[in-house]
Amino acid sequence: MTTAPGDVIALGAFQAWIDAFARLVQQNRDHLTELDAAIGDADHGTNMERGMTAVLEALADKQPADPGALLTATGMTLVSKVGGASGPLFGTFFLRMGTALKTEEPIDLALFAGAVAAGVQGVVDRGKATSGDKTMYDALQPASETLNEAASAGRDPADAITAAADAARSGCAATTPMHARKGRASYLGERSVGHQDPGATSVALLFEAAAQAVGS
Amino acid sequence: MKKLINRPEDVVAEALLGMAAAHDSLRVDHENRVVYRAEPARTGKVGIVSGGGSGHEPLHAGFVGLGMLDAACAGEVFTSPVPDQILAATQGVDVGGGVLHLVKNYTGDVMNFEMAVELADPAGIRVVSVVTDDDVAVQDSTYTAGRRGVGVTVLCEKIAGAAAEQGRDLDEVARIARDVNDRGRSMGVALTACTVPAAGRPGFDLGEDEIELGVGIHGEPGRERRALATARETAQLLLDPILEDMPIGQGEQVIAFVNGLGGTPLIEQYVMFNEIDALLAGRGIGIARSLVGNYITSLEMAGVTLTLLRVNDELLRLWDAPVNTTALRWGV
């Protein structure tokens, strides 16, 4: 599905985004588990897979009428099913996006980018991370910034979201040399250095899924 | 890694079914995964709710009963429970005296309990939260998620539980819980890692002659890897950081708690207690009460945690008060 400047993102693309994210999480579950075993308690992969499976069931059951409702249902399900720190954080991200989108459909890039920024703010409000803490924020923030810059520059959704996915991927890779200052990895001190953050990895998958759903 | 389970994804649900079947004193809400006292508390008593990831048994469900917890929320293995569970538990134990949340200081636990309180507020239940953060292995700074809640959590649940059972009000019970947390410190050591059922392999690799100092209870690596040492040397490695962080003077009294992390036999725990006993005696610190055994575990991790709680007469009276739970029972 190709897009052109001024194009909008329809409900179907949001469903495709969540479907793709669930698929990527499932495919990468063992990888996420391994990353989390190195600097955490090895439950991130399992938790995210369980959460996203429940999300797909909830969406099939509820049949949300617009993207806002879809993302709100996604967020609520993640909060109810994932637990740990990822549940509240990923859940709040989607809940805030859902609130920002209201009942609009389809969604133009500017509104989408603004909603992502609102989602990121939710993560910051809940988890209080800053750049360099070695968390999901280190992938989220560059992705959101790239997306919002692209929206201001009038780029088309597919390009903008692909660029955001690249930024998320780079942000995620950048967590490897960081010394963790938040979450379970922070208990390890310098021993967290040299390991990629699992939460940031899930964020990279999230934006890769978005690129798959909206991209050409 | 050999485990006595069926499917990994069913471990928590099946364990809760087993607990309900084994213990008439418990009532389990399987849908919400909350363990309650079968006999609810009398009207007006402060309700005490705790919870956390599964895999630390008997913590917390093993401490549900007279004189200790009113409800325990069980998350997935090593994963915090979700707000819905905590809200259900909070509503389930409220008998008009308000509810105390005892929360171990882990990012997920704190966030999920916070979200539950945000939801409980409109329901009109007064909730006060106390966070335990006794682990000296982690520096409490802006560069970490703060100190982990470990052994002192058990002591807190007992002592605050006794205060609630005696009819003290919510603010007083919370004050006592905070006081216990402030007066206790812990340090842990692991001889092996543990294996989360869903992960299938140990969280880290320890050589035959290595130990991991400064471990928590979630199977994550500790602060420092060292050569295997004798019980005498290891006792020193646990005690020194505790006393450095919380000096205990000659003549002071403590509750000394040697806790097995799951994989260390009781015979070794007693060898360790003997060493701690000697070290404290050498410093003129009196052991007023002791606790030895598996109370806050990390699946099958071999190792122990040491917790010292500086006590006074009031805290000792609350410690001695009757308790009737599946893991701790005296005075009844």
Residue tagged 């360790």 (tokens): B272
What mean pLDDT value characterizes chain B?
95
Catalytically annotated residue among B23, B30, B56, B60: B56
Name the helix (H) or strand (E) containing B216. Answer: none
Catalytically annotated residue among B23, B60, B101, B218: B218
Residue of A nearest to B205 (CA): A38
What ipTM, to 2 d.p.?
0.86
Burial class (CB in 10 A: 0-12, 13-18, 19+), B295: buried
The whole-angstrom separation of Cα B307 and Cα B204 is 24
Amino acid, single-letter form, for residue B94: D
Residue tagged 């543990």 (tokens): B194
pLDDT digits (tens, 9 = 90+) for B72-122: 999 999 999 999 999 999 999 999 999 999 999 999 999 999 999 988 777
Q: Which of A116, A57, A122 is nearest to A92 (CA)?
A: A122
pLDDT attached to residue A216 = 47
Q: Is B23 a catalytic residue?
A: no
Beta-bridge partner residues of B1: none
Give yes or no for residue B269 having a pLDDT over 80.
yes
pLDDT attached to residue A66 = 96
Name the CA radius of gyration of chain A, rounded: 16
Residue of B nearest to A123 (CA): B111
Q: Which of B257, B224, B216 is nearest to B78 (CA)?
A: B216
Give yes or no for residue A115 having a pLDDT over 80.
yes
- Name which of A80, A186, A188 is nearest B82 (Cβ-Cβ): A80
Q: Does the beta-carbon distance from B198 to A40 stay under 8 Å? A: no
Residue of A nearest to B109 (CA): A84
The whole-angstrom separation of Cα B99 and Cα B86 is 11
Interface of B with A in 51-70 (CB under 8 A): 53
pLDDT attached to residue A40 = 87
- For range B49-63, the mean pLDDT: 98
> Which residues of chain A lie closer than 8 angstroms to B199, CB-CB?
33, 37, 42-43, 46
Give yes or no for residue B311 having a pLDDT over 90.
yes
Q: What is the dihedral of CA B238, B242, B248, B250, to 10 degrees?
A: 20
Give yes or no for residue A122 having a pLDDT over 80.
yes
Instruction: Give the residue, A19 or B198, on which the prediction is more confident.
Output: A19
Q: Does the beta-carbon distance from A83 to B203 stay under 8 Å? A: no
- Name which of A82, A182, A187 is nearest B216 (Cβ-Cβ): A187
Give yes or no for residue A191 having a pLDDT over 90.
no
CA angle A160, A164, A168 (to 5 degrees): 175
pLDDT digits (tens, 9 = 90+) for B17-44: 999 999 999 999 999 999 999 999 999 9
* pLDDT band, very low/low/confident/very high, at A6 (cuts 50, 70, 90): low
> Which residues of chain B lie closer than 8 angstroms to A47, CB-CB?
76, 79
- For range B248-273, the mean pLDDT: 98
Going by the DSSP 8-state scheme, the letter that residue B38 receives in this structure is S
Distance from CA of A96 to the nearest CA of B (A): 14
Instruction: Give the residue, B304 or B138, on which the prediction is more confident.
Output: B304
Token reading at B93: 């134990």
- For range B319-328, the mean pLDDT: 98
Beta-bridge partner residues of B77: B54
Give yes or no for residue A14 having a pLDDT over 90.
yes
Residue of B nearest to A79 (CA): B82
Give yes or no for residue A18 having a pLDDT over 80.
yes
Give yes or no for residue A3 having a pLDDT over 80.
no
Q: Is the dihedral of CA B247, B251, B254, B260 positive or negative?
A: positive
Other residues' Cβ atoms within 10 Å of the Cβ of residue A152: 11
Instruction: Give the residue, A120 or A215, on which the prediction is more confident.
Output: A120
Q: Which of A25, A41, A181, A190 is best to mutate for the B interface (most B CBs within 10 A)? A: A41
Q: Is B101 a catalytic residue?
A: no
Contact partners, residue B273, CB within 8 Å, separation at least 6: B256, B258, B290, B292
pLDDT digits (tens, 9 = 90+) for B118-151: 887 777 899 999 999 999 998 766 778 889 999 9
pLDDT attached to residue A43 = 87
Percent of chain A with pLDDT over 70: 96
The whole-angstrom separation of Cα B188 and Cα B173 is 28
**Is B199 an interface residue toward A (CB < 8 Å)?**
yes
Interface of B with A in 93-152 (CB under 8 A): 106-108, 111-112, 115, 137-138, 142-145, 148
**Is A122 an interface residue toward B (CB < 8 Å)?**
no
For residues B174-206, b (16+ Cβ closer than 10 Å) or e, as one string?
bbbbbbbbebbbbbbbbbbbbbbbbbeebbbeb
